[in-house]
Chain A
Amino acid sequence: MSRRNVLAWIWALVVVLLLAHNATLWFWQRIVPDTDLLALLPVEERDPMRQFAFTRITDALQQRLVVLVGAAGWTRASRAADAYGAVLARHPEQFQVADSVTDQVQRDWLASFQTHRLTLLTPQDEAALRTQPKEYWVDLALNKLYSPFAGVSPGAWRDDPFGLFSAWVQARAQETPVRPRDGKLFVGDEQRRYVVLPLTLRAPAFSMSAQQAVPPLLEQAREAAKRAGPDVDLVTVGVVLHAAAASAQASREMSMIGIGSIVGIALLTWFAFRSLKPIAWIMLSIGIGCLGALSVSWLVFGRIHLLTLVFGATLIGVAQDYGIYFLCNWFAKDSQLDSWQLLRRLFPALLLAVVTTVIGYMALALTPFPGLRQMALFSAVGLVFAWLTVVVWFPVLVRFNALKEPLTACGYAAASARWPLLRFDRRTSLAAVLFLAFVVFGLSRLGVRDDIRSLQTPPKKLLDDQIQASKLLDAPAPAQFFIVRGATAEVVLEREELLKQRLDPLIEKNLIGGYQALSNWVPSSRTQAARRALVEEKLFSDDGALAALMVRLGENTRWVRTTRDRLLASPSPLKLDDFLKSPAGEPWRHLWLGSVEGQYASVVALRGLGAAGLPVLPPLAAGLDGVQWVDKVGEISSLLGRYRRYMGWVVLFSYGAVFGLLYPRYRGRSWRALAPAALASIATLALLGSAGQNLQLFHVLALMLLLGIGVDYGIFIQERAGRRDHAAWLAVSLSAMSTLLSFGLLSLSKTPALQAFGVTMLIGIAAVWLVAPCLGRDETEKE
């Protein structure tokens, strides 16, 4: 057995292993691709606490599903919600429905704080205690006493004569517009009343089982609710809905790109060669490429993201290049050359082509985005496997006389003879001037936009619901918040209080709606002690407000003593741990991050945060120990921006590196192989600019890949000394068409990042295809 056959057999063994591994993955392990978009985002490596805080908050949100059932009147909304709940109650394996809000729950809630009423004050009252004279408090108490609406306070007058605790309860109540009503949760706006149904998913939101089971059930429940009245409407928000929509979309796109490319390539190959065998060979190389890509990616990452597969589907259009190149040259070769001799002749070009393309893909791996790294590895491995199949198996498979040169291919290739060549003549100069004008115009209009939204745009309905729900519920921003840390829980609370002093003025100015912080509920021990001292001095001392009140009410000093003793007999200070463990603390537990690496930390979340408030918040943390502003949205956007610039340089340097790779083989002609990709890139940017598009990271990444693939075409064209070579022209055309097809389909993606990538490749490859033949050497220059 010859060495060549040994290689072929070894490759056969590898392929068998690949098949076995893939079979295990799909049929035995039943792997499911990731759908969590956050998995595509970079992990915060510098600061584990920031990452932990973010994960904590997203985890808290992830399993949650909030349904708002609305109608013009409460009764109908309530009835619709009952119908809705009844449907879900039949599926306890999917949903955990929150207990109804009983009176007992409310009473317990209040009672848990009432014992600590002395130290639970609003910042306004605390300030008033320091600044206002005792007459202020006497008036307040009298007003309360004489008011017919005595019930304004949650308890008897003598338990809260100055209304301090009721003001605190009031302030806490205003942290959310949701109110208990008839055992349900109520929220409303000017026109409509809504029942709030908080649900918890049992299966992980990103599991396929949840994504397949939950939306139909919700739809069923929605229909049941709608039967309660014609004006019933539903607002549903939940990570699972986004995940389900995203994975359904990704699956659709993956099959569209995959099937579209396969069919396209089969047809192209058929038209070119009029034979089934080449189709089978090309498909073989693509298939092995895809299997290899999946196996290796799984072995390296232990997971695979659905978007990787969507992007990976474009591999089909690229991986066929080598097979096509081999086959095209097979026709054009001298008949005495056998397939091994042919391979030997093509090998340098094939090697350069695969290396440059892999370089193009590897650029994606230079970014810190795990998703892009996966896509890079997947695509590069796929290419290498397809390439190895061509190099090792094609010479064995493609035998003498197996193919006759097909007429179509000849006819098409002959057309290349009429393709214009660039020379130093008037026509070229004119074209150059026009091109330059277009480039200047286009580039001058090219803006930039590094928006996190390029990573995902959910369906409009989901987005509308999201907006409406966060307006109704006044929910805090999930991706922007403060982290407060300290050596002990007490230090954390003290630092929170300092931060809150800076936040309060922003509420007055309407820059934020409010904030959620644990210290709202449990003041630091220091503050509790200070407040107690303050209250004792201003209200209960011998010449305090209570004594003055005694005179106005015609009571005696004994009355003062009894009342004071009653009020001051409050137990030990409120402790954070106790609060977190209590049912009252349950809704706020996610704000406490606990202890990470010897430090305690908490989150201060912001409500009603708009564009106006965003710029004023980061500076607030300045000068406050242990307080840090986190803006995940801004962070990702600035990361996208940073990498857009960085990758721009990488693209430029890559041109240099690829030039270095090409130089030993092509010498003075190297620029001719490189120029099509370069010109196409410039033209693409100019076209994007003219079309009013904004440049983002994904355009730049596509330019990198455009270099990798575009250079292949340049190489194929430059390769044969007998330039204007039919085989090269045919190979480039077939490759370009299939690549155009794959990326054209990718440009239809609803994921903006993939769409940007697809569009750039589509324009770029088309331009390379048009330009590359122009840079073939003129016949007259022939040696």
Chain B
Amino acid sequence: MKRTFLIVGLALISLPLLGAAPVAKIQAMLAKPKILCGRFDQTKQLAGIKKPLVSNGRFCAAADKGVLWRNLKPFPSTLRLTRDEIVQLQGERVTLHLDAKKEPAVRMIHSVLFASLTGDLGQIEKLFEIEGSASADRWSVALKARAPSLAKTIGNIALEGGAYVKQITLNDASGDRTTIVFSEIQVGDAAMTTEEAALF
């Protein structure tokens, strides 16, 4: 049960990532803006499905609000994560709703996510062992969950970036492989479109 949410949380944590063996160096490299928006391109290779599943959309992470993950193609859907709830919308329809009052993991996911947004490596390191390397303007790390069950389910996570996270690769135990590439990154109040602001 908790595992379910750790997985969500974990995936979210990975977004604007930081944390590596040279933790301080990477942390210094990261811009850590209050609001961060951009485009993502995702490719998923699933066991049991021949063709890779390709999708793209926009994401926003706002320190005082939460995370907005909007899939635009091949079909629109929105995931919103705040301190009090996780909501998934498909058009007008709510397909997933988790209330922090009923599901305590919501808050935990949120706090872990924001620890990573604000560069609180202490939080990340509680859950993951961090290994990696950094050059002057690039870094890459591999995360391994400390809890064996978590590690077993989510497998390996690899992150690359500079001032911002540029790519996430997830290799899970069942053989599924997900690659997310971030681009067109904007920061500050202007980064968020009015449409996105309304969705929060």
Q: Which of B30-38, B98-106, B135-143, B184-192 contacts A (4 or more CB under 8 A)?
A: B98-106
> Which residues does chain A contribute within 8 Å of B71, judged by CB atoms?
143, 146-147
> Which residues does chain B contribute within 8 Å of A170, judged by CB atoms?
1, 4, 98, 103
Interface centre among A151, A152, A179 (most CB of B within 10 A): A151
Question: Contact between A140 and B95 (Cβ–Cβ < 8 Å)?
Answer: yes
**A107-B149 in contact given A143-B90, A145-B53 (Cβ < 8 Å):** yes
A542 within 8 A of B: no
**A146-B44 in contact given A151-B11, A152-B7 (Cβ < 8 Å):** yes
Which of A155, A169, A187, A554 is within 8 Å of B1, CB to CB? A169
* Minimal beta-carbon separation of B79 from chain A (angstroms): 7
* Minimal beta-carbon separation of A586 from chain B (angstroms): 16
In the bound complex, how far is the Cα of B107 from the Cα of A153, in angstroms? 19
Chain A window 133-170, contacts with chain B (Cβ cutoff 8 Å), 1 for yes, 0 for no: 00000011011011111111111111000000010011
In the bound complex, how far is the Cα of B158 from the Cα of A653, in angstroms? 88
B153 within 8 A of A: yes
> Which residues does chain B contribute within 8 Å of A277, judged by CB atoms?
none
A188 within 8 A of B: yes
A264 within 8 A of B: no
Chain B window 151-174, contacts with chain A (Cβ cutoff 8 Å), 1 for yes, 0 for no: 001100000000000000010101
Question: Contact between B12 and A555 (Cβ–Cβ < 8 Å)?
Answer: no
Question: Contact between A145 and B95 (Cβ–Cβ < 8 Å)?
Answer: no
A181 within 8 A of B: yes
Question: Contact between A149 and B2 (Cβ–Cβ < 8 Å)?
Answer: no
* Minimal beta-carbon separation of B158 from chain A (angstroms): 14
> Which residues does chain B contribute within 8 Å of A555, judged by CB atoms?
49-51
Question: Contact between A177 and B102 (Cβ–Cβ < 8 Å)?
Answer: yes
* Minimal beta-carbon separation of A545 from chain B (angstroms): 15
**A166-B4 in contact given A145-B46, A174-B102 (Cβ < 8 Å):** yes
Query: Which residues of chain A from 496 to 537 have any CB-CB distance to chain B below 8 Å in the complex?
Result: none
Question: Contact between A151 and B51 (Cβ–Cβ < 8 Å)?
Answer: no
Question: Contact between B153 and A151 (Cβ–Cβ < 8 Å)?
Answer: yes
B199 within 8 A of A: no
In the bound complex, how far is the Cα of B77 from the Cα of A583, in angstroms? 39
Question: Contact between A179 and B1 (Cβ–Cβ < 8 Å)?
Answer: yes
* Minimal beta-carbon separation of A424 from chain B (angstroms): 74
A180 within 8 A of B: yes
A428 within 8 A of B: no
Question: Contact between A173 and B95 (Cβ–Cβ < 8 Å)?
Answer: no
Interface size class of B (residues with CB under 8 A): 35 or more
A553 within 8 A of B: yes
In the bound complex, how far is the Cα of B96 from the Cα of A112, in angstroms? 25
Question: Contact between A188 and B2 (Cβ–Cβ < 8 Å)?
Answer: no
* Minimal beta-carbon separation of A674 from chain B (angstroms): 63
A186 within 8 A of B: yes
Question: Contact between A148 and B180 (Cβ–Cβ < 8 Å)?
Answer: yes
In the bound complex, how far is the Cα of B52 from the Cα of A145, in angstroms? 11
Chain B window 67-100, contacts with chain A (Cβ cutoff 8 Å), 1 for yes, 0 for no: 0010100110101000000001010000110100
> Which residues does chain B contribute within 8 Å of A563, judged by CB atoms?
48
A565 within 8 A of B: no
* Minimal beta-carbon separation of A375 from chain B (angstroms): 47
* Minimal beta-carbon separation of A76 from chain B (angstroms): 13
* Minimal beta-carbon separation of A72 from chain B (angstroms): 13
B18 within 8 A of A: no
Question: Contact between A179 and B105 (Cβ–Cβ < 8 Å)?
Answer: yes
> Which residues does chain B contribute within 8 Å of A59, judged by CB atoms?
none
> Which residues does chain A contribute within 8 Å of B50, judged by CB atoms?
554-555, 559
Question: Contact between A179 and B2 (Cβ–Cβ < 8 Å)?
Answer: yes
* Minimal beta-carbon separation of A171 from chain B (angstroms): 10
Question: Contact between B148 and A103 (Cβ–Cβ < 8 Å)?
Answer: yes
A212 within 8 A of B: no
> Which residues does chain A contribute within 8 Å of B42, judged by CB atoms?
146, 148
A106 within 8 A of B: yes
Which of B11, B74, B147, B172 is within 8 Å of A146, CB to CB? B74
> Which residues does chain A contribute within 8 Å of B49, judged by CB atoms?
145, 158, 553, 555, 559
In the bound complex, how far is the Cα of B12 from the Cα of A151, in angstroms? 11
In the bound complex, how far is the Cα of B47 from the Cα of A559, in angstroms? 12
Chain B window 1-44, contacts with chain A (Cβ cutoff 8 Å), 1 for yes, 0 for no: 11110011011100000000000000000000000000010101
In the bound complex, how far is the Cα of B149 from the Cα of A154, in angstroms? 12
In the bound complex, how far is the Cα of B103 from the Cα of A166, in angstroms? 14
Question: Contact between B149 and A152 (Cβ–Cβ < 8 Å)?
Answer: no
Interface centre among A106, A143, A145, A186 (most CB of B within 10 A): A143
Question: Contact between B103 and A153 (Cβ–Cβ < 8 Å)?
Answer: no
Question: Contact between B176 and A150 (Cβ–Cβ < 8 Å)?
Answer: yes
With CB as the reference atom, state the residue of chain A lying closest to B88. Answer: A143
* Minimal beta-carbon separation of A139 from chain B (angstroms): 6
In the bound complex, how far is the Cα of B53 from the Cα of A158, in angstroms? 14
With CB as the reference atom, state the residue of chain B lying closest to A190. Answer: B107
Question: Contact between B104 and A177 (Cβ–Cβ < 8 Å)?
Answer: yes
Query: Which residues of chain A from 554 to 570 have any CB-CB distance to chain B below 8 Å in the complex?
Result: 554-555, 559, 562-563
* Minimal beta-carbon separation of B27 from chain A (angstroms): 21
> Which residues does chain A contribute within 8 Å of B149, judged by CB atoms?
103, 106-107
With CB as the reference atom, state the residue of chain B lying closest to A158. Answer: B48
Question: Contact between B11 and A149 (Cβ–Cβ < 8 Å)?
Answer: yes
Interface centre among B50, B71, B77, B96 (most CB of A within 10 A): B96
Question: Contact between B69 and A181 (Cβ–Cβ < 8 Å)?
Answer: no
B118 within 8 A of A: no
Question: Contact between B172 and A150 (Cβ–Cβ < 8 Å)?
Answer: yes
**A151-B154 in contact given A156-B176, A158-B47, A179-B104 (Cβ < 8 Å):** yes
Which of A140, A154, A156, A157 is within 8 Å of B4, CB to CB? A154
* Minimal beta-carbon separation of A193 from chain B (angstroms): 10
* Minimal beta-carbon separation of A508 from chain B (angstroms): 13
Which of A142, A156, A187, A554 is within 8 Å of B47, CB to CB? A156
* Minimal beta-carbon separation of B77 from chain A (angstroms): 5
* Minimal beta-carbon separation of B123 from chain A (angstroms): 11
Interface centre among A106, A147, A153, A166 (most CB of B within 10 A): A147
In the bound complex, how far is the Cα of B154 from the Cα of A173, in angstroms? 20
Question: Contact between B44 and A145 (Cβ–Cβ < 8 Å)?
Answer: yes
In the bound complex, how far is the Cα of B178 from the Cα of A103, in angstroms? 25
Question: Contact between B2 and A153 (Cβ–Cβ < 8 Å)?
Answer: no
> Which residues does chain A contribute within 8 Å of B103, judged by CB atoms?
170, 173-174
Question: Contact between B3 and A143 (Cβ–Cβ < 8 Å)?
Answer: no
* Minimal beta-carbon separation of A41 from chain B (angstroms): 35
* Minimal beta-carbon separation of B121 from chain A (angstroms): 15
With CB as the reference atom, state the residue of chain B lying closest to A159. Answer: B174
In the bound complex, how far is the Cα of B44 from the Cα of A155, in angstroms? 16
Query: Which residues of chain B from 111 to 154 have any CB-CB distance to chain A below 8 Å in the complex?
Result: 147-149, 153-154
Interface centre among B4, B12, B71, B79 (most CB of A within 10 A): B4
Question: Contact between A181 and B102 (Cβ–Cβ < 8 Å)?
Answer: no
In the bound complex, how far is the Cα of B147 from the Cα of A182, in angstroms? 8
Question: Contact between B172 and A151 (Cβ–Cβ < 8 Å)?
Answer: yes
Question: Contact between B75 and A139 (Cβ–Cβ < 8 Å)?
Answer: yes
A-B interface, 5 closest residue pairs, ranked by CB to CB distance from nearest: A151-B7, A103-B149, A173-B1, A156-B174, A158-B48
Interface residues of A (CB under 8 A from B): 103, 106-107, 139-140, 142-143, 145-158, 166, 169-170, 172-174, 177, 179-182, 186-188, 553-555, 559, 562-563
A-B contact list, 15 entries, CB within 8 Å: A139-B75, A143-B88, A145-B46, A146-B77, A148-B42, A148-B180, A150-B44, A151-B154, A157-B48, A177-B104, A179-B1, A181-B2, A186-B104, A553-B51, A559-B48
